[in-house]
Amino acid sequence: MPSIVAIRDLRKQYAGGFQALKGVSLDIEEGEIIALLGPNGAGKTTLISTVCGITIPTSGSVTVGGHDTVTDFRAARQLIGLVPQEINLEPFETVMNTVRFSRGLFGKSADDGHIERVLKSLSLWDKRDNKIMTLSGGMKRRVLIAKALSHEPRVLFLDEPTAGVDVELRKDMWDVVAGLKASGVTIILTTHYIEEAEAIADRIGVISKGELLLVEDKAALMTRMGQKMLHIHLSQPTEAVPAALAHYNLSLEQDGRVLVYTYDTAKERTGITKLLTDLAATGLVLSDIETRQNSLEEIFVGLVKEDA
């Protein structure tokens, strides 16, 4: 099946000479949620802006639903909904009017039934006649999503949808995204919250300094990059790692109460059985054992550091 969004060697150099995108290629499958993760200034917003037509690419091409975003921009843009990072709304308009306007702008004939469904799904229906300036920050962000969904797009770009949003609202937003995915919308979101990518994405792309460092299935990424740590709690603290265990590269933590063994889950042999056997031979008594997996955050920091 051809991908719904195909980005080919996309480059963007701003007038000042800054290279925001250095040849990004990416295929996005219909119906998936892909999270683009990267520090501030990595090129996430430029990538989205270029796909949506707000920024003119220096070179490279993008197709959406098979339509080139430059030569066949009408067909391509009709499929796209964009939720910008900044809360860009006209303060004096009502929610209903501004959402209706968005639908019309995309060439769709008026359909208040659809708009009602969108507003209800975002818990905005009660606020439909309110002026936007009277809404809270979280509600305004929902209005932006409603505008983006007003013309029934097949691809939705969410540029940092939860930046500056409190924890509760962030969870709400994740529910909204999950609901959209269920309705078949492809979602591309940028974030610098690792937990967000971890919580809702199917695939994760890491962008740094205008380059896409990797794109991988979330679970595969975490397994591939993930190191696990075996924490061995001792009933009596020990002063040093016994010589017999030296080749396991153990580290001693918590005043000698915990031995930490780091291993790679992708390896065929993790060495745990042998370690535990050897450990028993040293006469140390165990009180507890636990394993911990690297979070995406640790993987991410490792990647971006490597790149620096």
Partner 1 sequence: MNLVAVRSIYRFEMARFFRTITQSLVSPVLSTSLYFVVFGTAIGSRINEVEGVSYGAFIVPGLIMLSVMTQATTNASFGIYFPKFTGTIYELLSAPVNFLEITLGYVGAAATKALFIGTIILITAFFFVDLTIAHPFAMIAFLILTCVSFALLGFIIGIWAGNFEQLQLIPLLVITPLVFLGGSFYSVSMLPPVWQTITMFNPVVYLISGFRWAFFGQADVPIGLSLLAIAFFTAACVTAIWWIFRTGWRIRQ
Q: Which residues bind partner 1 (CB under 8 A)?
A: 14-15, 49, 52-56, 73-78, 80, 82, 84, 86-92, 97, 100-109, 147
Question: In angstroms, what CA-CA distances link 117 with 9, 120, 128, 146?
Answer: 38, 5, 12, 10
Q: Which CB sits closer to partner 1, 151 or 218?
A: 151
Q: How far is the CB of 60 from partner 1 (least distance, A)?
A: 16
Pairing assessment for the beta strands 19-28 and 251-253 based on DSSP bridges: unpaired
Q: Which CB sits closer to partner 1, 187 or 299?
A: 187
Q: How far is the CB of 106 from partner 1 (least distance, A)?
A: 6
Q: How far is the CB of 142 from partner 1 (least distance, A)?
A: 16
Q: Where are the alpha helices (DSSP H) in 24-157?
A: 44-52, 73-78, 95-105, 112-121, 137-149
Q: How far is the CB of 14 from partner 1 (least distance, A)?
A: 6
**Which amino acid makes up residue 3?**
S
Q: How far is the CB of 93 from partner 1 (least distance, A)?
A: 8
Pairing assessment for the beta strands 258-264 and 251-253 based on DSSP bridges: antiparallel
Q: Which CB sits closer to partner 1, 97 or 238?
A: 97
Q: How far is the CB of 296 from partner 1 (least distance, A)?
A: 30
Residue found under tokens 């993930």: 226
What per-residue string of b and e applies to 181-202 under the rule 16 or more CB within 10 Å gives b? beeebbbbbbbbbbebbbbbbe
Interatomic CA distance for residues 37 and 194, integer angstroms: 7
Instruction: Give the pair of three-digit tokens for residue 32.
Output: 């998936």
